[in-house]
Amino acid sequence: MTNREDSNRKRALRDILSYEDTLTVDVENTVHKIRERAKTLHSELDMYVTNLLNQIKHKFEQELKKVRYTVEKLKTGDLSPRGKAMSRSSSLDRSPRYRSTPRSNIDFGLNTSRTSVRYGDVDEMHQFDKKEIHFFEGEASDKVFERLVGTYTFEATTPISFNAVQRSILADRKSEVKLVKTFKVGDKSETVHAIAPVEEDQAWICCGWGSRNLSLYDRHGQKRKTASLDIQVNDACTFHDGKEDAVLVSSFREKSIKRLNQESLRTSDFAYTSLFPGGLAADRRSGIYVCFRDSYQRQAIFGSRRMVAKLSKHGELGATVEKNEEQTNIFGYPFRIAVNMNGDVCVSDYGDGTRGVTILAKDDRSKELRVKCWYKGPPTGIGSDQPFLPHGIVCDEEGHILVSDWNNDCIHVLDRDGNFLLNLIGKKDGLEGPNALGLDKRGYLWVGDSHGVVRVFKYSVYDG
């Protein structure tokens, strides 16, 4: 078992144990609530039964009073409306049968003391209506108890990271990485911010923000030549214009894109814009994609212009992607850009509130680029101690998207739909502040860091 697999398993174990603790507390709280509800219902039920028995007792005593009064009248023969006045209570008291008969001595199960029956005036008697009492049992069904006691749900909410960790472990087992070469291209305080591979084993590299130089290095770290430009270099890419491979260079400060002749090392104008151009990439049909911004601010405020635009091979502005359907900015700080094998445009964005990778795809109907998905960083617990901070981005021939994470000193590998597969390269490989990425025609990955160093890797990822 590799150190990475062991670390991933430990993180998965922590997540599952944490879930067990949370689930236990959640269930205990639910059981407590159910028992408290049962106590409340018992109390309410006792009160209801007591009231019901009191009502029956009251009705019974009223009716019993009429019965005893009638018995008295019948015994004395005084059935006239204005009969001889007598003490009804004393007459009944002299009758042993009706003083306290077994039939009428009913125990209602109440804690109230019995009261003697006192007779008041009774309406003149013309007839005596007998009454019957009936008890209708209440419904005792699951639905009734659900309404009284309540119900519960046991449903999934947020998935824990075990599946993602397991996928990462499996991807680790199907990936190979080999460091081919490490070489310096600048001072320790300078950042490698542009790598544009050409030919089979060479790449144009710019090191140091504000630099006006592009140097051509081979895969073994040998500098072949240097082009001194009249612009400050932001990013560079190669594209085929139908006749030859050309190098395009964006200048953030001068708001221009230049074309570099690789033989004469001279530049010519390719495009001028009203916005600041940043990341550059070309597709297989000589279409060129550019990241544009209107300022250096990382947060897009109201009225800010942040977009991705497509240029023709002659530098003409074509389609742009800037707003979503709610007419708010899609991008905050679009930095670098790449085109996937299926034509999707992948943009690294480290703006405040929009940080991540945005993948754009053509809409089947309109043929315009729309947001397909976002990648906001790996699942919790997979080698990311700090917030995801994307910088360089490239796409390989297998459809993988590789993005450098400056904060966590690693290279993430995504599938073509933006799903995290694994961390391909990390601190153990010497990375510190990885920035620019480049892929040459033989599949070698060039990684430029924030200390003037370029590392070349040979890698394979088998995620099938």
Q: Contact 330/295 with Cβ under 8 angstroms? A: no
* pLDDT value, residue 125: 55
- For 174-184, the pLDDT digits (tens) are 788 999 999 99
CATH number of 164-461: 2.120.10.30
Per DSSP (E only), the strands in 5-79 are none
Q: Contact 374/356 with Cβ under 8 angstroms? A: yes
| Sign of the C-alpha dihedral computed for residues 379, 385, 390 and 395 taken in this order | negative
260: which residues sit within 8 A by CB, 6+ positions away? Answer: 204, 214, 227, 229, 236, 246, 247, 248, 249, 266, 267
Residue with token string 């050409």: 198
* pLDDT value, residue 395: 96
- pLDDT, averaged per 10 consecutive residues of the chain (464 residues), comes to 58 74 86 91 91 91 89 79 45 44 64 48 64 86 85 72 55 78 96 92 95 96 95 93 88 91 92 93 90 84 89 91 88 95 93 92 86 88 80 95 96 92 90 96 95 96 72
Domain boundaries, the chain: 3-149, 164-461
- For 336-388, the pLDDT digits (tens) are 999 998 899 999 999 888 899 999 998 888 788 999 999 999 876 666 678 99
**CA torsion, ordered 181, 226, 188, 234, to nearest 10 deg:** -100
CA distance 195 to 457: 14
3-state helix, strand, coil in the chain (%, to 5): 25, 30, 45
> Structure tokens of 87?
């003490």
CA distance 283 to 360: 13
Q: Contact 415/463 with Cβ under 8 angstroms? A: yes
Q: Contact 386/408 with Cβ under 8 angstroms? A: yes
- For 333-350, the pLDDT digits (tens) are 999 999 998 899 999 999
